[in-house]
Structure 1
């Protein structure tokens, strides 16, 4: 397949799904492809470009995981440390045997503040709760602090945002720093992710895409009333597609963690389904020969993010979108183009 045919294939898929966002492909620490589609701000016809910052929803959980691994490296905690031994906040109905390992692997059994068994739409959380008041990690506490366990601790994998909020509280308590400040200093700055950060939606910096949802009539509306005003440990960082490529490069080259700790972050911990596993750093596909790829994803109203890293090929593909859908389809098209050469 020649270069033009490949490009036509991706353009066709972009038009098919009306993808709006940025793409970055890196191989062996070198950017081999970038492209941008759609508008960062539709009303002003401001286009997305390579330095446009996108919210990546739960795609930023890996930053929380790396931060926890740093604290383990320092000897402040271990993966077996219990919540009750490293946090001075009471959770009267939570099992006292819950450890950091359980929180990282979504096996704690605690209630998820966004329980997809009870609601389908993340926007529903903010109907009776002002989203503009969710600006810090502790602001999430009333949403789960006094709820009872959902299942037993060490139960099978069940995706859980609350666990990562608690991990953020632990990071703040142990480090003595605000969660956002800790991530900025210990991950973004070290990696060289100069365009990344956790921004308040009412104080956005330059070059930030606004998130859009499609209404039944096909017109678009902003997601400003659909999400917490500021992201935190369970999601909501803003990054560029290029910065996420830089993140994987820094992680795999030992800039963020030691070799042994990077291995702890990236090995399978629990089985999710068939060949999909979850480690401290997120999802991964594995077979009898080892890890095929690491998988990052994020979904919020007006936010769609997908990224994969193939360790054996030293290949990273990042797709950020400021619409609710499209990133997965674009990612799969890029994978098809690369692996059918």
Structure 2
């Protein structure tokens, strides 16, 4: 799919000289990694300013039926979901219902870690920016998935952490996860470090529901998915699984592709269990760069999310990024002089990545159904080709 503005010197043809040649170069690159068996399926989309300029699928959505992947194929986006969770909180900030710099216990009095006097100081901003002091390996949010018996690595990690099945099965809500944090020891003082804690984002969902009085799932459907016309985006696992154009997920084992269990974990949805498409995610990126029209949030809120609040030391997964940091649900940094706001997602069989080049108003989406596919390399290649860097 390729769309262009006509007779507009500020449009796509102005921004991307020789666009067709660039697209051809990018497609040749994707076809090469497909031949090298470095992917099963890849769904990509590019946006510029307020429109989607390109979207295409490469490879297979399902190997058993040889079903092709498309820009409309529903796929797991995993931790990119965290930006949706932060967006929901910023809606409440705009309404004056949440102050980012107030302690979390002001809104969730039952929240605490093993040392209450320390965790009482954790602010909402620190929760969203992974600077609260939590360790990165709490694990509870991931192991409550209903299909854990099919995920051997998660099962082994549960045993290593010593979390019993009784404890795991007692988790039935966002609040239960928040209350579980009473067992957690902080690794550093709140606001004085950074550790990416995926479990903490279930607390974000709990915070939203307790302050707003409405379902986090319903809010996302009405105020993000419906509002942005993201018609093929859902939080419902069964809807994603049963859709005729939805992906299945693969690892590589014994020199062949092996299908793995479908990613599902509705109780812990804020950590990474939205299902979307490359086209829908492009609409989402466009809205997050719409500083003028406030389609999704006010400009000040968008920029608050995209501001770096902490430097990220472990950048092994984001090679070539300078000044890596983390905002509110978004990773930040510089790449060859370009301002980046982005996020990745990963799970058995899943790799996903979205990038906003905010000073150029360019968005790149890359969703895949094979965990060995290097989505960051694909996004870097797309960036290099589109912007001649």
1:287–1:321 Cα change, 3 Å: closer
Unmatched tracts of structure 1, length 5 or more: none
1:156–1:200 Cα change, 3 Å: same
Unmatched tracts of structure 2, length 5 or more: 1-17, 141-151, 314-321
Select which of 79, 82, 85 maps to 2:100: 79
Q: Is 1:7 aligned with 2:23? A: no
In the alignment of these two chains, the number of paired residues is 335
* TM-score (normalised: structure 2): 0.77
Distance in 2, matches of 1:266 and 1:5, equals 31
Q: 1:200-246 CA deviation, whole Å, 9 max, x = no partner?
A: 2597341321222222342312223x753665111111111111110
Which SS does the other structure have where 2:134 is aligned? Answer: coil
Q: Is 1:301 aligned with 2:355? A: no
Equivalence map 1:48-87=2 (5 Å): 48-87=69-108
Instruction: After TM superposition, give the deviation of residue 252 of structure 1 in Å.
Output: 2.2
Which SS does the other structure have where 1:330 is aligned? Answer: helix
1:62–1:5 Cα change, 3 Å: closer
Asked if the contact 2:346–2:371 (Cα under 8 Å) also holds between the matched residues in 1, the reply is yes
Instruction: After TM superposition, give the deviation of residue 123 of structure 1 in Å.
Output: 5.5
Equivalence map 1:37-186=2 (5 Å): 37-91=58-112, 93=114, 94=116, 95-112=119-136, 113-114=138-139, 121-122=153-154, 124-125=156-157, 129=165, 136-138=173-175, 140-141=177-178, 144-186=181-223
Instruction: After TM superposition, give the deviation of residue 322 of structure 1 in Å.
Output: 1.3
What is the root-mean-square deviation in Å for CA atoms of aligned residues?
A: 2.9
Asked if the contact 1:302–1:322 (Cα under 8 Å) also holds between the matched residues in 2, the reply is yes
Select which of 199, 208, 227 maps to 1:190: 227
Which SS does the other structure have where 1:294 is aligned? Answer: strand
Which SS does the other structure have where 1:171 is aligned? Answer: helix
* TM-score (normalised: structure 1): 0.87
Bigger Cα Rg: 2
